Structure 1
Amino acid sequence: MLFPTSTFAIFFLIVLPLSWLLMPNVHRWRPFIIVASYVFYSWWDWRFVFLLAGCTIWNQVLAVRIHNATTEAQKKALLWLALAGDLGVLAYFKYYDFFVDSSQSAAAIAGLDLPLSLKTIILPVGISFYTFMAISYVVDTYRGDFVPTTLEKFAVYLSFFPHLVAGPIVRGSELIPQLDTPRNPRRVDTSRAFYLIATGLFKKVVIANYLASHIVDQVFGAPNQHSSLEILIGVYAYAVQIYADFSGYTDIAIGIALLLGFTFPRNFDSPYAAVSLQDFWRRWHMTLSRWLRDYVYIPLGGNRKGKVVTYRNLMLTMLLGGLWHGAGWTFIVWGGIHGTGLALERWRHDRPGYVEPRDTLQRRVISRVITFNVVCLAWIFFRADSFASAWDIITGLFTGWGQASPLVTGGVLLAIAVGIGSQYLPARFPYALMDRFGRLPVLGQAAVLAVALMLTNTMGPEGVAPFIYFRF
């Protein structure tokens, strides 16, 4: 079930009042929201509801066992059992065909024939997100940072429909305490919720879909048929498309959760205004960045075991981050570009006698331009269907200048400018808008929302394409 559809609108118009009606009695509200979330998830394919339920029971049982274990050896064994189950399921659904294909290719080079066959397994929507949430719950229990809750509350935490299919990746410590007591409808920040939903819809339905249909899909689908200018603008357009698509989704998700009385962590903070790759990963998909830091980078040793090991850990973390995004070598290269860049930035600061240059406007502009273009180079591999396609994009940036570029229109350039320029607005700007919106009378707020939704519907294309991150 997609957010910007009439189906979801009907679903939410039913769930929202019933949720607040049942909220005073949390023992009635929790089963209701679990059922509602499972209905939401089953709309795509009802069979995977059993996978979600199995993941819930598996991780809850083992988290409780870990918490009650009396020795460190028992806790560690139970932790590895939980991780094996979670990662095993994820590996089967997401990586089986990738591993089989890669193994067969490697065996063929060595003159061997492996008796393995591809299965074309359907990837359950959201499996990467709720698996990572389950892992964080179990690991936090093992570390003693979190006491496991009841099965009912854990089921709500894992299946809560606003975050279920594409995040943000919410920690148990961030959501589960909110389930203990009824939410207060008088404390719901409706101004922020409606602002997030309206701007999220605009980013997804208008900007992301417009760029996808007017330049990105054509350029990446047949790069040899386009000029260097079209390819360059197409790469920049994809950078804006994936930002508008994913941040738009999470804005809607956070806004919907707010209307239900719950607060999610922020997931984007103007990533294309970053002055370094390290800064970029503090701003892009922030909940994933923190997850990779806390559950991959730090357990590998972080920066505690010397410079070389630190560079290695940065690279391994980003390679795993790339593999998490997709079962393909192009995603691993995407992660490798970021890992290499992060390691080089760290090496630069680790040099003897290094002094941080003075922060000036010129230095910030240069740093932002370099960072944005490195990120865009990596996006080529993220978006391309194969290495051959990625190479065609890269070579096409240099071999087709002077050719006609009909795809580079004023509308495309405007959408890119809005997508990037909006990230340079003062941090207080959205809060000022929300404050003004909140001061309007109810009829005024309704009128503003109606106009915003009408403009979004008018400016957007027919139909709504699935969110990019649904396939991760």
Structure 2
Amino acid sequence: MLFPTLAFAIFFMLVFALAWAFASRATSRKALLLGASYFFYGWWDWRFTALLAGSSAFNYLGGALLGKTKDENARFWIVAGAVGVNLAALGFFKYYDFFLNSLTDLLLRLGLQRDMPFLEIILPIGISFFTFQGISYVVDIYRNRMKPVSSPLDLFLYISFFPQLVAGPIVRGSDFLPQLSKPPQLTRIAAVYGFLLIMAGMLKKTVVAHYLAVDLVDPAFDNPSSASSVDLAAAHYAYAVQVYCDFSGYSDIAIGVAALLGLRFKKNFDRPLAATSLQQLWQRWHISLSTWLRDYLYRALRGDKHKTEWHMHRSTLMTMLLGGLWHGANWTFVVWGSILGFALVIERVVKSRYAQWRAQSASSVAGGSNPVLLLSFAVMGWFVTFHVFTLAGVFFRSPDIHVAFSYFEQMFSLSGGVQLFTPFLLLLTAGAVGMQFLPGNMLEKTAEKLRAAPAMALGVLFGGGLLLIKFIGPEGIAPFVYFQF
């Protein structure tokens, strides 16, 4: 069930009405939301609801066992086992065929052909997201950052809550679960903010991302050898905008839907394409995943005892490499993660050396506060960051390594002509990037200004806005990019 569809609109209106009808009956309300979440997930393929329930039950038992165990050595093995089982399930569904294919290719090159046990495995939608939530739950209990829930209902709802179930954001149990113990409230400003988020998400997804994907990005990447250099250069910029609008649009809708049900999610994107460094970009892009990788992978790889510069660089490279592989079972994602990992290390080294030089240079102290110089550094930082990110994105979008290299070869061949790129697509791409430089709290301020408007006027505003978005958008709804992860 896709968000921008009539089926979801009917589904959500029913859930919204029933959820607030049971607002004073906490257990019934949670049971209703849980049932709605499983219906939402089962709409795609009901068979995988068993996997979702199994993951929830396993992590509930793991958390309960951690809560009852006092011996630290035993607790370590419990959390290690819980994380291992979660990753094993994710690895089987997501990477089984990838590793077998890679092993088969390697054996063929060595002249050791073997019959491999290939299976036709369907990737359960959203498995990466609800697996990561399960891992964060048991690890946070192990680290004494939260206590295990007493009711399985709470944990099952946390893992499966439908707004964020299939494509995030990755919500932490420490943020979500305490909200279930409080009476739900829907303030006027929260309702207005939720509707604004939904409208913004719909505009990003159904208009900007859809037009860029269908008219430029997909044709260019499907057959790069037949496109001109201008089209390919434009398409690699447009793809960064498409992914941003597609995924941040989904996140906006998810956060807005949750807000209308009285639950608060943290912001998942914060103008990442305006970042002036790669570190800043990852602090603003898919924030729930970036912080998850930082807290549960990077810090584990770095360790507490070894915090030298070398260990930090090694941990950064490994985190980005595994983060790339998380996105899909394809060598293109490994290359993408490696490129950005090395770029982050280089950026960190350059910044460290520059800071040392400034500390040692008396003349740089005066120049360091020069506004023109600071602006120049910011512009240069944005330019480099933006292009490293967009060029690496060619590997992210390409179906295989060969197509990615063909794309670069054709893009830098300086072949003439423009077949795909139009002024309208230029306006969408440049406009979306330009919007990144506006203040990040514009929706919040708009919601504050609209809170006092009459309910009828708000209804006309939001209803008319959604109809306008539907009118200017193309026919059909393309699947969200992050559904495949």
Identify whether the pair has TM-score above 0.5, normalized to the shorter chain.
yes
1:229–1:405: 8 Å Cα contact kept in structure 2? yes
1:302–1:310: 8 Å Cα contact kept in structure 2? no
Alignment of 1:49-128 (within 5 A): 49-128=49-128
Is the deviation greater in 440-449 or in 344-353? 344-353
Paired AA for residue 275 in structure 1: T
* Corresponding residue for residue 392 of structure 2: 378
Alignment of 1:383-462 (within 5 A): 383-401=397-415, 403-462=416-475
Alignment of 1:325-340 (within 5 A): 325-340=327-342
CA change 1:428–1:291 in 2 (3 A) is: closer
1:257–1:263: 8 Å Cα contact kept in structure 2? yes
Give the Å deviation of 1:135.
0.1
2:197–2:443: 8 Å Cα contact kept in structure 1? no
Paired AA for residue 354 in structure 1: W
* Corresponding residue for residue 323 of structure 2: 321
TM-score by length of 1: 0.97
* Corresponding residue for residue 300 of structure 1: 301
* Corresponding residue for residue 362 of structure 1: 376
* Corresponding residue for residue 143 of structure 1: 143
* Corresponding residue for residue 10 of structure 2: 10
Give the Å deviation of 1:418.
1.9
How many residue pairs get aligned? The number is 471
2:188–2:451: 8 Å Cα contact kept in structure 1? no
Give the Å deviation of 1:302.
5.7
* Corresponding residue for residue 177 of structure 2: 176
Please list the CA deviations of residues 147-206 of structure 1 after superposition, one character each: whole Å capped at 9, or x if unmatched: 010211011111111110000000001000000022123466111101100010000000
Distance, in Å, in 2 between the alignment partners of 1:432 and 1:305 is: 41
Q: Does the alignment pair 1:28 with 2:31?
A: no
SS in 2 for 1:43: helix
2:317–2:342: 8 Å Cα contact kept in structure 1? yes
Give the Å deviation of 1:32.
1.1
Paired AA for residue 378 in structure 1: A
Distance, in Å, in 2 between the alignment partners of 1:417 and 1:302 is: 42
Distance, in Å, in 2 between the alignment partners of 1:322 and 1:186 is: 40
Paired AA for residue 468 in structure 1: V
Give the Å deviation of 1:70.
2.5
CA change 1:432–1:66 in 2 (3 A) is: closer
Distance, in Å, in 2 between the alignment partners of 1:354 and 1:265 is: 38
Distance, in Å, in 1 between the alignment partners of 2:292 and 2:160 is: 18
**Structure 2: gaps of 5 or more residues:** 360-367
2:271–2:436: 8 Å Cα contact kept in structure 1? yes
Give the Å deviation of 1:98.
0.4
SS in 1 for 2:121: coil
2:167–2:483: 8 Å Cα contact kept in structure 1? yes
1:226–1:400: 8 Å Cα contact kept in structure 2? no
Distance, in Å, in 1 between the alignment partners of 2:303 and 2:342 is: 16
CA change 1:188–1:58 in 2 (3 A) is: farther
1:212–1:241: 8 Å Cα contact kept in structure 2? yes
SS in 2 for 1:185: coil
Paired AA for residue 366 in structure 1: M
Distance, in Å, in 2 between the alignment partners of 1:374 and 1:184 is: 44
1:188–1:261: 8 Å Cα contact kept in structure 2? no
Give the Å deviation of 1:120.
3.0
Distance, in Å, in 1 between the alignment partners of 2:265 and 2:443 is: 18
* Corresponding residue for residue 463 of structure 1: 476
Distance, in Å, in 2 between the alignment partners of 1:432 and 1:307 is: 41
Paired AA for residue 388 in structure 1: H
Distance, in Å, in 2 between the alignment partners of 1:97 and 1:394 is: 28
Give the Å deviation of 1:429.
3.0
Distance, in Å, in 2 between the alignment partners of 1:407 and 1:124 is: 35
SS in 2 for 1:250: helix
Structure 1 ranges of 4+ moved more than 4 A: 356-359
Give the Å deviation of 1:88.
0.8
Give the Å deviation of 1:396.
1.5
CA change 1:317–1:33 in 2 (3 A) is: same
SS in 2 for 1:405: coil
Is the deviation greater in 220-229 or in 444-453? 444-453
* Corresponding residue for residue 37 of structure 2: 37
Distance, in Å, in 2 between the alignment partners of 1:443 and 1:90 is: 47
Distance, in Å, in 2 between the alignment partners of 1:56 and 1:393 is: 43
Paired AA for residue 325 in structure 1: H
Percent identity, aligned pairs only?
Answer: 43
Distance, in Å, in 1 between the alignment partners of 2:358 and 2:482 is: 40
SS in 2 for 1:27: helix
Distance, in Å, in 2 between the alignment partners of 1:41 and 1:327 is: 23
Please list the CA deviations of residues 113-167 of structure 1 after superposition, one character each: whole Å capped at 9, or x if unmatched: 2331332311111000000000000001111111010211011111111110000
Paired AA for residue 374 in structure 2: T
Distance, in Å, in 2 between the alignment partners of 1:120 and 1:460 is: 36
SS in 2 for 1:360: helix
Distance, in Å, in 1 between the alignment partners of 2:474 and 2:303 is: 46
Give the Å deviation of 1:85.
1.2
Distance, in Å, in 2 between the alignment partners of 1:193 and 1:290 is: 24
Paired AA for residue 383 in structure 1: R
